Structure 1
Amino acid sequence: MKKKLALIVLLISVFGFQAQSIDPLRTKDFEAQKIWVDSILNNMSTDEKIGQLFMVQAYSNLDKKHEDFITEMITKYHVGNLIFMQGTPEKQAELNNKYQAAAKVPLMIGFDGEWGLDMRLDNTYRFPWNMTLGAIRNDSLVKQFGEHLGKHCKRLGIHVNFAPVVDINVNPENPIIGNRSFGESKENVTQKAIAFTQGMQSYGVLANAKHFPGHGDTAADSHHTLPFLDFDMARLDSIELYPYKRVFDAGMTSVMTAHLSIPSLEPNTSLPTSLSKKVVTDLLQQKMGFLGLIITDGLNMKGATDYATSAEIDLAAIQAGNDLLLIPQDVPATVKLMKNAIALKTLSEERLDFSVRKILKAKYWAGLHNYKPIVLENLREDLNTVEDDLLHRELVKNSITVVKNLQGNIPIRNLEKKKIAYVELGDDSGESFVKMLKNYTKVDVISDKNLDQVLKKLKPYNSVIIGFHKSNLHPWKSYKFSNKELVWLQEIAREKDVILDVFTSPYSLLQVKSFTNIENIIVSYQNSKLAQELSAQLIFGAFGAKGKLPVSIRDEYAEGHGLITSNLSRFEYTTPEAAKLSSKKLALIDKMADTILKEKMAPGFQVLVARNGKVVFNKSYGYHTDEKRILVENSDLYDLASLTKILASLPLIMKAEEEHKLPLSASLKDILPSFTSSNKEKVTVKEILSHFGQLKAWIPFYKDTQDSISGKNLATFYRKKKSNKFDIKVAENLFLKHNYKDSIYKYIKEADQRERTGYKYSDLGYYLFKEALENQYKKPLNTLVDEEFYQSLGADRTTYLPLKKFTRNDIVPTEKDDYYRKQLLQGYVHDMGAAMMGGVGGHAGLFANANDVAKIMQMYLQKGFYGGKRYLKTETVDKFNHRYFSNEKVRRGLGFDKPQLNPRVKATCGCVSDESFGHSGFTGTYTWADPQSGIVYVFLSNRVYPTMENRGLIKSNARTKIQQIIQDAILD
């Protein structure tokens, strides 16, 4: 005994072993625990004790024959533990309750849920794999992951989850660990394992460190063969055993022994380490001092089954020092063999009691002394929560790793200078990635079976995003490039600036022989929908990169390498709760949408909600028209009508005011000298923008071009074909006389002023602002606003004259015009005056989707800043978002509409702050932003379809009722 003790002391000094000082299975009420354990153990027969050593696999997707088999295992063979495999949570809960009711001693339920219950069960939550988590710098997030998984396990009656994997994956060719490992760094793996364990065990679920003594540097899968590790003890201690010592000190409650062949630990190379007394008892328990529960890896694995018969393997595992036999293959034969071994004194009752006592202590630790059946109600909802979604997003956001970022090209800036293409590699879909990329700017998908054709198609582009997408089905799926893909990658990178985004293991980069021509590299680790969406957002600067490589890429990129990138204050697309909004309350928008469609207030529409720079709701409803042929998509364009004022004219007016080209104090004659001596010459820019300039509301210019009796368009003014004299296109096959624009300005100039002072909403001033801006900047209004704002904002779906850029099916029809153009208006501005200006008006003519409208409103909300660029000064936005004539009961700011001063007016829901601003449009559009709440709200519709007499949307106040829903959804 003295010699043995001296040897242990020597090993401690040489290899740094430290015996575990505490029993991780000992509870705070250890005296009560001891009483409970002793009361059960002392009343057990030998058969009952042997039964406690088994953890049999149970399925919730098999037939009654299987259920009867499990019941027999419990009642006849006294099996004390089950590991549930494939199935559904509802059925598992039902069976769990059934099997627990049949057991004399409460069953300990095991589960293999490394990345969540989804590893085995349908309709449960899937978190990222360990390799992805290994890229996270913030270990508290991994602890939260452990907490969530512990909560899920507890809810489903699971007492031990076989996680975390603590294998140090130093072998890239490892066929079974790989993505299941936190990485190649022993320190990082250990820290992540401790964080996870602390989180999960805080919910009373035993964690399990696997696969002892270390499966990370194998090139074989122990499910199919016995892997061989020819390492000496010094190497094992410095790498493989390193995390175990630390997790033991941190309170790890159980360990799984692996089926490996390691001659330096067990000279008999055919004997798996899981069955070796030298490994399980001498090393794990005595030298390393582990006092927790020791569980074998699955005894159905070839790494174990090739050694002997099932019963002999089970007996050998117990004799080696394991406490619990995972997935034994022949329980009856094992019981018989063990009883025979006890009779022959090769297995003692004391040895049996030792393991049974630990198993019972573990059951008490997990709360089974107060066993209660699983509550079946709301089970699926409890296992798939909003909080899970929030954590999942944070885990993925914090893992994405920028490996290379030449000249800081990530995030992408200066969108007005970019022409971006996307090329997909790999054998899985990148659809979610592309869809999210397109939320930020125009991105064209380029594909062809022939490389030369791809290169030819890429010639017009100056930036190419290459997504490498591999299956996300499970972590041991292939991550490798094909030889063809490697050639394509290098050839494209040789000619173009490239961002390579790898949606698979970082080990895939080991195949890339040279990174010289690849300017930018991102590792997103998995090809999940969320990883694709968030990676696209990172590329455009919605948030900055924080991840680090959990493994090294040759000697070029070390483990722990990861570049930090900037947040450009572009939209992030996320869930309502991430912006402190209630998804349940926002769901009431769907009910309002049903009412709008049912009562035919509009055939279709878009609703977008953002808060604090986060888009949390972006949905389309209904169809383009009442014919119900084309569903409305988020990318579809609507005629914005008067939203044009604040989305096109106003930003240019603000810019011109900053540059002293359009001062607010300037009179009309100052900005348009032709108005000198007119009845409007003294009206100021400030007054016009505030609708306080006594201008008429509008002038129906088109009526002067029609026969007053028949209403037909006069040939004097119109032609069906374009010519030099008739070149203003007002609709399909309808062209207005070239000089009629002059007539419009003449009509405005000569129009009587309103006699009464005070507020009167008017379009006329914006005809004049258009003329003044074009005179100042020597460019058409549509070109000017596109170059100054839309291109760099990434508002590529915001435009005048949409048919020049988009197909008809991209544009929602507005109205069946039976009074002027006598046709369905699709892609042609609804406003008659704007149409007579060639489709480009200061007051109307703009088309866009809700996403782009929101970008412009967010730029205003961020006081003139968006996407890393300052468009307007903070003081300019504040200056325009102010009422200058409130004493005269004018609610308007400069261009912006503001909340009503008169409660009877329904400009808003009455629930937004006085700082808020926005506008509405005649066609059924509305947008509003509130600096106080951080809310941006966009509603786009064609409520004038089939005709403008359809006023249901206006009468119902549906748009502001939705605004109220949004306000009510705020959680903070």
Structure 2
Amino acid sequence: MKYTFLLFVSFSFALFAQNSNETKSSIAKPLIAKDTLSQKIWLDSLLSKMTLDEKIGQLFMVQAYSNKDEKHKQEIINLIEKYHIGGLIFMQGSPEKQINLYNDYQSKSKVPLLIGFDGEWGLSMRIKPSFAYPWNMTLGAVQNDSLIYQVGKQIGNHCKEVGVHINFAPVVDINTNPKNPIIGNRSFGENRENVTQKSIAFINGMQSVGVLANAKHFPGHGDTASDSHKTLPVVNFDMKRLDSIEMYPYKQLAKSNLASVMVAHLDVPALKTEKGRPTSISKKVITDLLKNKIEFKGLVFTDALNMNGVASYTTSDQVALEAFKAGNDMLLIPVDVEKGIATIHKAITDSLISEKRLDSSVIKVLQAKYWAGLNQLELLKTTNIQQRIHTVEDDLLFKKVAENAITLVKNNQDFLPLKRLDTLSIASISLGDEGSSEFVKTINKYKEATIVKGVDQNNFKNKLVTYNTVIIGIHKSDANPWKSYEISNAEIRLINEISKTKTVILTVFASPYSLLKLNGFKNISNIIVAYQNNSVFQSVAAQQIFGALPFLGKLPVSVSKQHNVGSGIVTESIHRLQYGTPEEVGMNSLKLSKIDSIANIVISEKMSPGLQVLVAKNNKVVFEKSYGYYTYDKHQKVNNNSLYDLASLTKILGAFPLYLKAFEEGVYHLDDTLGDLLPMYKDSPLGNLLVIDMFAHQSGLKAWIPFYLKTLDSVSHQPMKKWYHPTKGNGYNVKVAENVFMKDEYIDSIYQTIKTTPLRDKRDYLYSGLPFLLFKKILENHYHKSMDVLLAENFTNSLGADKLLYTPLNKYKKDSIVPSEEDNYYRHQRLQGNVHDMAAAMFGGVTGNAGLFGNANDIAKMMQLYLNRGIYGSHKYFKPNTFNNFNKSYFKNRDNRRALILDKPSFDSKVLNTCNCVSSKSFGHSGFTGTFAWADPETNLIYIFLSNRTYPSMDNNLLGKKDIRTNIQQLIQDAIIK
């Protein structure tokens, strides 16, 4: 046995030590495994037992389908058992069926089969359902090559899960011809250095997990005007051009560990091939040039031999023979395996080809099989295959690629990212033949944009007359990289006409080549290339327009004289909220999904008809969902744009920012008395109340006063005609509800009632809404504007918080607002868009106590402003120290947890105003209608809960009794990955 072992080893070393050019080219360093000796022993043990036909069979890689019938399966098994083929390239089908066939086919083969796959952008290129990464053209725009490495690695991981050992990727063709019908988006671009570096990164990533890479299509298919699947393209350049462009990547890759190269079916006269002879069967191209001159040592594959570019040259068996004679190691998708093997067999037995030449290729094939782990062949399992080939890591990486690829091509006067949202009126127009919903939806998360449909050259002036900014999205099919990217002539004319009078942001969700027809795009102010039209790229592009994310990409190809390859404007984030996934910020999406269960309990147990929940961390919204309906009759579903009556959240979202502004502007000081600020109270006990005590809820004011009761008839309990009228006018101008207008002068009575209501004996902590009625008067007296106007002008308009406002019926339709109660005690109607709080209603719905309406998304903007301590969207609203001074519990020694206006976590577990799982730095508030907003600087986390638990009656407080809001808060904390 020892003697036999030595024979095997000496035989192997003899083969590897040949000095002829033919054998030199077989010394395939890229295919040598780390355990070199074990690889040679395994290889020799197989090679020494092979017949001539078994060796020849190793050269053939046949296409196999997992979506065909039993007949096809038996044909493949016959090829394996009778002709000993070396490998299979799997084509269309499903992951599960491919795995099952992989197991069946491997069990039939004496020598493990090398499984190939054409998955340039992932398994989705051939089998579905599976994951698709962006096209190479998109990757070519990315400046961080480590991301390309990660893409290659992840695609390699997916390949391994379905039994693929060699992935025929990446395309390394330099696409210098925009009209190339077959490469285009499959190329990394037109710059040779960029293409090469991206190729190296992709190859290293894929091979790092044990999947062989393949560079294609040698000597270069990037500047062709025809498709080698259909004909034989001619590449008519001289050697200087070929050497400096087309073949440049291969010269660099030959120095790397690239496992294999695929040779294209091309006619390249400068390479001195026979006229009309495809490069894929030319010895001058493969052996003399690729193997000897360029010194590539890996496996050499033909492109598919059933393609017309080669199949029409001669008979199928002669094509196979010529391909082998030329120097190819494996013949991909031969037309006739039986005849091909027989023809090669005859050529060897007739001494037209040496068996040593055959052995050199077979050795490389076996080396590749060992390198890929086929010396320890294991059968595959289909269990959880979808979860294994589409992971959270894939989604994160895909989005990261989008963030790094999307390119700002033109930015007139640094218009982007959009900053002064309060100065913009935006129209959104979608052109092209595919969907735009995520792009439009994300735009509207930052600033309300009107979707304008049916725009053409005849009506655009009228349709766009009220807008100063127009975002135009060009949405082309993302189904595959060969789909048409061209913008129609009519669309081009429309874009140019609109651009003459409006500031246009043109965002192209297609190949950058689509811009070529725009003739330099002089009139268009701002142009973005977003490369691909899917929900991720649409969302990211919108976030970049508003500065939540920076623009980082560079053009991989030239699109005009002024905007050539490598150009692209890099911007910085201006710290608006981003939108992403929990794992991006170190949270567990599965744990967060448990919120769904609690929401379903809330609805099923009638704690509230519906609700909204939002979670943001590290300036990124990672969970935003709506549940249930407006009412229990289930006529209208809640969506993320539905507006809720925020009740006491108004204190921190409406009053608080104005109080901070007024404080900085010296309108008041914390040690001022109420008498100092409102002279009408100077001669009353309230005159000595300190601002700091009122803000901390320990001034001695009553919790609340039911002002409205004095305005009701004592018998009928209806609003007294003395104080109310069904129509506005004649001194009845305060809108309390629909068709209920209060007499203006009664507001003075409310302030007088506050003045004459005795203070409590103790000045301990007691939550009170009365200070917020008083400060309304202080602010409005000083600024001579109402609170709703002050809030909009100073905060919400520039924040882009269009859905955070008072008196929402002045702007939105009633069906966009969730009803808060069926009022049978005061206004006697459904309250939908009119404030629920009775006192706030008597001020026309505008106070610091209540009256604000909003959705979770726009509330999050204000809460993020607080976490940023005064800065949002590059605008400074107040100083950090101002916020810090208000977010402080001054009276802990008096058992008062409150900061100034802001609520704080309780000191112990007796009071469950939070989950008792947040930091002492955290702050927020709850609202009577079933609302809650909380932020924690320590974890940089925002949590918002909105509901209408008061519908149909405020007597229902199951939501509070079951601690629903704080239970969800605990879930959110638990979802943070430690």
Smaller-chain TM-score bracket: over 0.9
CA contact (8 A) 2:456 2:494 kept: no
Within the alignment, does 1:722 sit opposite 2:731 as a pair? no
Residue equivalent to 1:609: 615
Distance in 2, Cα, partners of 1:529 & 1:468: 14
Residue equivalent to 1:163: 169
Residue equivalent to 1:317: 323
Of 457, 461, 471, the residue aligned with 2:467 is 461
Distance in 1, Cα, partners of 2:692 & 2:660: 12
**Mean alpha-carbon deviation: is it higher for 749-758 or for 611-620?**
749-758
Residue equivalent to 1:15: none
Distance in 1, Cα, partners of 2:952 & 2:254: 72
Within the alignment, does 1:196 sit opposite 2:198 as a pair? no
The Cα shift of 1:305 comes to 1.2
Q: How many residues align?
A: 955
Alignment of 1:333-412 (within 5 A): 333-412=339-418
Of 637, 642, 650, the residue aligned with 1:636 is 642
Alignment of 1:770-919 (within 5 A): 770-919=776-925
Of 213, 236, 244, the residue aligned with 1:230 is 236
Residue equivalent to 1:573: 579
CA contact (8 A) 1:549 1:558 kept: yes
Residue equivalent to 1:239: 245
CA contact (8 A) 1:20 1:248 kept: no
Within the alignment, does 1:683 sit opposite 2:689 as a pair? yes
Q: Deviations over 1:83-141 (max 9, x none)?
A: 11111111111111111111111111111111111111212111111111111111111
Q: Percent identity?
A: 54
Distance in 1, Cα, partners of 2:679 & 2:779: 13
CA contact (8 A) 1:663 1:685 kept: yes
Residue equivalent to 1:273: 279
Distance in 2, Cα, partners of 1:643 & 1:449: 41
Distance in 1, Cα, partners of 2:632 & 2:589: 30
Q: 1:19 to 1:365 in 2, by over 3 A?
A: closer
Residue equivalent to 1:511: 517
SS of alignment partner, residue 938 of structure 1: strand
Residue equivalent to 2:964: 958
Residue equivalent to 1:554: 560
Q: 1:802 to 1:576 in 2, by over 3 A?
A: same
Distance in 1, Cα, partners of 2:696 & 2:826: 31
Letter in 2 for 1:694: G
Residue equivalent to 1:142: 148
The Cα shift of 1:20 comes to 11
The Cα shift of 1:19 comes to 9.4
The Cα shift of 1:375 comes to 2.5
Q: Deviations over 1:358-387 (max 9, x none)?
A: 100100011100111112222110111111
Distance in 1, Cα, partners of 2:831 & 2:169: 61
Of 472, 481, 486, the residue aligned with 1:475 is 481
The Cα shift of 1:721 comes to 2.0
The Cα shift of 1:158 comes to 0.8
CA contact (8 A) 2:429 2:470 kept: yes
SS of alignment partner, residue 197 of structure 1: helix
Residue equivalent to 1:4: none
Distance in 2, Cα, partners of 1:225 & 1:44: 38
Distance in 1, Cα, partners of 2:499 & 2:561: 21
Letter in 2 for 1:849: N
Letter in 1 for 2:514: S
Q: 1:21 to 1:309 in 2, by over 3 A?
A: closer
SS of alignment partner, residue 82 of structure 1: strand
Within the alignment, does 1:693 sit opposite 2:699 as a pair? yes
Residue equivalent to 1:442: 448
CA contact (8 A) 2:139 2:188 kept: yes
Within the alignment, does 1:119 sit opposite 2:125 as a pair? yes
Structure 2 residue ranges without an equivalent (≥5): 1-23
Residue equivalent to 2:4: none
Q: Deviations over 1:213-251 (max 9, x none)?
A: 000010111111110011111111110110001111111
Within the alignment, does 1:40 sit opposite 2:46 as a pair? yes
CA contact (8 A) 1:447 1:454 kept: no
Residue equivalent to 1:290: 296
The Cα shift of 1:515 comes to 2.2
Within the alignment, does 1:742 sit opposite 2:748 as a pair? yes
Distance in 2, Cα, partners of 1:47 & 1:145: 39
Letter in 1 for 2:637: L
Distance in 1, Cα, partners of 2:227 & 2:141: 25
Distance in 2, Cα, partners of 1:449 & 1:815: 42
Task: State the TM-score, normalized to the length of structure 2.
Answer: 0.96
Structure 1 residue ranges without an equivalent (≥5): 1-17
Letter in 2 for 1:966: I
The Cα shift of 1:451 comes to 1.7
Q: Deviations over 1:145-190 (max 9, x none)?
A: 1111111112221100001110010111111111100000000000
Distance in 1, Cα, partners of 2:691 & 2:89: 76
SS of alignment partner, residue 749 of structure 1: helix
CA contact (8 A) 1:21 1:249 kept: no
CA contact (8 A) 2:615 2:941 kept: yes
Distance in 2, Cα, partners of 1:672 & 1:310: 99
Q: 1:671 to 1:21 in 2, by over 3 A?
A: farther
Distance in 1, Cα, partners of 2:135 & 2:37: 39
SS of alignment partner, residue 255 of structure 1: strand
The Cα shift of 1:30 comes to 1.2
Distance in 2, Cα, partners of 1:518 & 1:269: 48
**Mean alpha-carbon deviation: is it higher for 117-126 or for 706-715?**
706-715
Letter in 2 for 1:951: N
CA contact (8 A) 1:19 1:287 kept: no
Of 78, 86, 100, the residue aligned with 2:84 is 78
Distance in 1, Cα, partners of 2:68 & 2:621: 43
Within the alignment, does 1:765 sit opposite 2:786 as a pair? no
CA contact (8 A) 2:547 2:873 kept: yes
CA contact (8 A) 1:418 1:462 kept: yes
Within the alignment, does 1:452 sit opposite 2:458 as a pair? yes
Q: 1:76 to 1:21 in 2, by over 3 A?
A: closer
SS of alignment partner, residue 846 of structure 2: coil
Residue equivalent to 1:619: 625
TM-align CA RMSD: 1.3
Letter in 2 for 1:257: V
Q: Deviations over 1:288-324 (max 9, x none)?
A: 1111101111112111111122222111111111111
CA contact (8 A) 2:520 2:562 kept: no
Within the alignment, does 1:93 sit opposite 2:111 as a pair? no
Distance in 2, Cα, partners of 1:38 & 1:325: 23
Of 157, 173, 179, the residue aligned with 2:185 is 179
Of 578, 582, 586, the residue aligned with 2:588 is 582
SS of alignment partner, residue 677 of structure 1: coil
The Cα shift of 1:58 comes to 1.1
Distance in 2, Cα, partners of 1:880 & 1:824: 37
CA contact (8 A) 1:724 1:738 kept: no
CA contact (8 A) 1:135 1:401 kept: yes
Distance in 2, Cα, partners of 1:621 & 1:311: 65
The Cα shift of 1:22 comes to 6.5
Letter in 1 for 2:542: A
Distance in 2, Cα, partners of 1:107 & 1:672: 89
CA contact (8 A) 2:618 2:940 kept: yes
The Cα shift of 1:452 comes to 2.8
Distance in 2, Cα, partners of 1:621 & 1:741: 38
